[in-house]
Amino acid sequence: MKAPLAPKRPKPIPTPLHLEDDWKWLDEIENPDTKKYLKAENSFYKDSMKAHSALQKEIFEELKERLAENDSSVPERDGEYWYYVRFKEGQQYPLYCRKKDNLDAAEEIYFDHNVIAKKHSYCDIGFLDVSPNHKILAYAVDLEGSERYKVIFRDLATGKETDLKIDGISSCFEWKTNSSFFYIKLDDHDRPLELYFRDFSKKKSVLVYSEKDPSYFLALDSSESEEYIFLGCNGYDANEVWYHKIAEESPEFHCFLSREAEHEYELSHHDHNFLIISNHEAVNYQIFKTPVDKIDIKNWQPIQDYDPEVLIEGLSVFKNFWIISERYKALPRLKIIPLAVDQDPYWIDVPEEAYELNVAEGREYASEGFRFWYSSPRMPQSLYEFDVKSKQRSFLKRRSIGSRPYSEDDYVVKRVWAPARDGQSIPVTLLYHKTTKPGAPMILHSYGSYGETLDCDYSNYRLALVDRGMIYAMAHIRGGMEMGRSWYLEGKLDRKWNTFNDYIDSADYLIREGWTKSGQIIGEGSSAGGMLMGVVANERPDLFLGIVASVPFVDVLNTMLDPELPLTTLEYKEWGNPNIPEDYERIKSYSPYENVKAQDYPHMLVVAGLHDQRVLYWEAAKWVAKLRDRKTNDKILLLKIEDESGHSGASGRYDSLRETAEELTFMIMLKDKHLKA
């Protein structure tokens, strides 16, 4: 087949800037020409990859072998029940199970995701939450990938669902009592802006809070003590938290501390105090406590002082100890704070150069210990039980090894530091097979936005690449928070170019040091990481053998000029407001769609979701159309539109593996062709 070409149809963009866009018509999903073009792109993709169907099948079966098809989580106690999740071989979705009193009791499957999903090609469960008395299940379902959920209630004694169903909500939900709850409703632009309370005995929900600023989104959480529910009003560089005492009859919330520019904080509860993680005069955050009846900031007492080299990422609160999740020199660590007077704080020891470490959710508040997950790029996620007083850990479970032979000793994990052009040092994590020689083809993955940390955990799909002689590299560039919150601040707004330069400088360093060679890197990124791929493909196409960009945020300028899209106004603090001239010029300087050039481009695979509400499908479609019009070589350019999913791809585990296998096939195909050339 010949590659489809979308015709230019200049169309004005409704802004005071009087701009035109040659491919704006592709955002008209009901336009027959749009449907025809998207169908043609999918047909061209399938035809182009047909010759590699055997490799795709091989990789899918390999990924499937690495999956523990009959798998179960370690049971967690909640009141008189033990709860766990398990999978059965051949089934796409999990079974949610429990046993009463002890683990020898009969199993009760209280929710079978497969039953809900069997008539649908996509089925995501946003949350499952059992009432405090364990008698009613609330679950939220999305059947198209739009992240717009319907909450449904089930009587667990009879297995029957009630007549009450609430549509158009977010994935945030909290029980107040056994017969009442809070939920957050989405507006017409899919923004979570309204908090509601509902009692089963009432015919209507009650509006509790309405957010007037569309750049602040609402989220719900409950305290580990189960005494409070917290409502977060979250912007990108500021927030405020409202609290509700569950024991109070009224559903009213109270503001803890009003939002202030550039002040971010989180709230927890312990005994008679609120605990606060705050960046007030502390860019990497510090921790305070204050009595619940004296919440004014003048009463805050520091319990973890500010350290400019240590980022505080979270606080887990138990009755007799606290756990501070920290990040130091781009690596996580857990600091244990025993509340007994005869024990000093201490950290959990870990062995690898690069790894992931986090507290497992779900333990009872009064427990004397906790569980944590540990993994590295060569070690599958392992769950440990840790006794705080004795400091003893016990191994509970290793996740997702499957039936395929595997030894962690066959792989090497390295942490190197790439010099950036402005003197900063960028941490880069490498994974490769012990038989792989330097100079091999490389996957260079990165993200670099929103303060998101690129975790050094284990992933089955990476092994399919490194087992075939490739090096898998992760560049922890600015825009993330691997090196602290300042690392994030140095990669946003007027310093956004640091993100792109860090990636390019990391690639140049890895080439210079002999880890790989110029022209044999495959860049990989999704969402804002897909934007990164678009920028570096425009700036340094010579570095790359190929690019894989999933749900890529590549039409940054036009998206940020449209305040009707769900995330636009919220993200002014991340990218800037292009209605301001200097912000407009800065965004235009890097927006991938705006900067497509008449030049040679590497091989490219672009993937989008038709129902994606975070990055709409037309960003990828317009980008590919413009690339086809401008690029000066005949290297592969493929667009795949997933027409039954959204931002996160397929919902079923086997369908997800098939999507992954397709992307891996493209990468391995490029590597094999390159080495044969």
Could you report the per-residue pLDDT of 164-175, keeping only the tens digit for each?
Answer: 999 999 999 999
Indicate if 667 and 528 belong to the same structural domain: yes
Backbone φ, ψ for residue 620 (5° rounding):
-65, -40
- Checking if the pLDDT of 11 tops 90, the result is no
Indicate if 389 and 428 belong to the same structural domain: no
Q: Could you tell me the residue range of the domain that residue 518 belongs to?
A: 13-25+37-64+404-676
Pick from 188, 189, 185, 205: which is nearest to 197 by CA?
205
Query: Token pair of 394, please?
Result: 């016990």
**What mean pLDDT comes out for the span 83-96?**
95
Pick from 457, 461, 459, 494: which is nearest to 478 by CA?
494
pLDDT of residue 568: 85
More confident residue, 70 or 427: 427
d(CA 50, CA 30): 29
Written as one string, the DSSP assignment of 421-460 is: TTS-EEEEEEEEETTPPTT--EEEE----TT--------H
**What mean pLDDT comes out for the span 427-453?**
97
Pick from 304, 274, 277: which is nearest to 291 by CA?
274
pLDDT of residue 16: 63
Residue carrying structure tokens 């001239």? 581
**What mean pLDDT comes out for the span 339-349?**
90
Could you report the per-residue pLDDT of 150-168, keeping only the tens digit for each?
Answer: 999 999 999 999 999 999 9
**N-terminal to C-terminal alpha carbon distance within the chain:** 24
**Letter for the amino acid at 332?**
P
**Letter for the amino acid at 524?**
E
**Letter for the amino acid at 342?**
D
Indicate if 416 and 392 belong to the same structural domain: no
Asked if the structure places residue 440 within a domain, the reply is: yes
Indicate if 444 and 374 belong to the same structural domain: no
Using the 3D structure, point to which of 399, 415, 443 is the last residue of a domain: 399
- Checking if the pLDDT of 425 tops 90, the result is yes
**Assign residue 285 a region: left if phi > 0, alpha if psi is -120 to 50, beta otherwise?**
left
Indicate if 324 and 376 belong to the same structural domain: yes
Contacts of 258 (CB under 8 A, 6+ apart): 240
Strand partners, 197: 182, 206
Pick from 642, 651, 673, 656: which is nearest to 63 by CA?
656
Output the CA–CA distances (angstroms, integers) from residue 296 to 195, 232, 244, 279, 314, in the order listed.
Answer: 25, 18, 17, 16, 22
Indicate if 354 and 409 belong to the same structural domain: no
SS3 call for 527:
coil
- Checking if the pLDDT of 14 tops 70, the result is no
d(CA 675, CA 244): 62
Contacts of 246 (CB under 8 A, 6+ apart): 176, 177, 226, 227, 228, 229
SS3 call for 485:
helix
Q: Contact at 8 Å (CB) between 3 and 44?
A: yes
Output the CA–CA distances (angstroms, integers) from residue 69 to 140, 546, 604, 653, 654, in the order listed.
Answer: 25, 32, 33, 10, 10
Output the domain CATH number for residue 562: 3.40.50.1820
- Checking if the pLDDT of 221 tops 70, the result is yes
Asked if the structure places residue 165 within a domain, the reply is: no
Give the total number of structural domains in the chain.
2
Could you report the per-residue pLDDT of 656-667, keeping only the tens digit for each?
Answer: 999 999 999 999
Residue carrying structure tokens 């022209």? 519
Q: Contact at 8 Å (CB) between 95 and 108?
A: no
Query: Token pair of 23, please?
Result: 């491919």
d(CA 432, CA 439): 12
What's the burial of 582, exposed, middle or buried (CB within 10 Å: 0-12/13-18/19+)?
A: exposed
Indicate if 513 and 393 belong to the same structural domain: no
Active site residues: 527, 612, 647
Residue carrying structure tokens 């020891």? 349
Indicate if 490 and 621 belong to the same structural domain: yes
SS3 call for 142:
strand
Query: Among the residues of 50-149, which ranges form H helices?
Result: 53-65, 113-117
d(CA 194, CA 401): 43
Asked if the structure places residue 198 within a domain, the reply is: no
Question: 107-131 burial, b if ≥16 CB within 10 A, otherwise e?
Answer: eeebbbbbebbeeeebbbbbbbbbb
Q: Contact at 8 Å (CB) between 278 and 258?
A: no
Using the 3D structure, point to which of 341, 368, 399 is the last residue of a domain: 399
Dump strand ranges (E) for 131-210: 136-142, 149-155, 161-177, 180-186, 192-199, 206-210
Greatest CA separation for the chain = 74
Indicate if 393 and 521 belong to the same structural domain: no
Asked if the structure places residue 5 within a domain, the reply is: no
Output the CA–CA distances (angstroms, integers) from residue 255 to 145, 346, 459, 644, in the order listed.
Answer: 33, 34, 41, 41
Asked if the structure places residue 83 within a domain, the reply is: no
Dump strand ranges (E) for 271-355: 273-278, 286-291, 301-304, 310-317, 321-328, 331-338, 346-347
**What mean pLDDT comes out for the span 417-439?**
97
Could you report the per-residue pLDDT of 612-637, keeping only the tens digit for each?
Answer: 888 999 999 999 999 999 999 999 99
Helix (H) or strand (E) holding 488: helix 485-489
Contacts of 449 (CB under 8 A, 6+ apart): 479, 480, 491, 492, 499, 528, 529, 531, 532, 574
Indicate if 633 and 598 belong to the same structural domain: yes
d(CA 547, CA 525): 8
pLDDT cut 90: percent of the chain above it: 87
pLDDT of residue 407: 93
- Checking if the pLDDT of 643 tops 90, the result is no
**Assign residue 614 a region: left if phi > 0, alpha if psi is -120 to 50, beta otherwise?**
alpha
HSE (side-chain half, CA atoms, 13 Å) at 624: 36
Using the 3D structure, point to which of 399, 416, 435 is the last residue of a domain: 399
Could you report the per-residue pLDDT of 349-401, keeping only the tens digit for each?
Answer: 888 899 999 999 877 899 999 999 999 999 999 999 999 999 999 999 988 77
**What mean pLDDT comes out for the span 529-545?**
98
Could you report the per-residue pLDDT of 315-331, keeping only the tens digit for each?
Answer: 999 999 999 999 999 99
Q: Contact at 8 Å (CB) between 108 and 97?
A: yes
Asked if the structure places residue 93 within a domain, the reply is: no
**What mean pLDDT comes out for the span 240-255?**
97
Asked if the structure places residue 387 within a domain, the reply is: yes
Asked if the structure places residue 131 within a domain, the reply is: no
Angle subtended at Cα 37 by Cα 36 and Cα 38, rounded to the nearest 5 degrees: 95
Confidence band of 650 (pLDDT split at 50, 70, 90): confident
- In this structure, how many other beta carbons lie within 10 angstroms of the beta carbon of residue 184? 23
Q: What is the mean pLDDT of the chain?
A: 94
pLDDT of residue 18: 62
Contacts of 201 (CB under 8 A, 6+ apart): 179
Indicate if 364 and 408 belong to the same structural domain: no
pLDDT of residue 192: 96
**Assign residue 297 a region: left if phi > 0, alpha if psi is -120 to 50, beta otherwise?**
alpha
d(CA 584, CA 591): 10
* CA 432 remoteness from chain centre: 24
- Checking if the pLDDT of 338 tops 90, the result is yes
CA torsion sign, 560 to 563 to 569 to 573?
A: positive
Query: Token pair of 27, please?
Result: 């955002």
Indicate if 325 and 470 belong to the same structural domain: no
Number of H helices, E strands in the chain: 12, 37
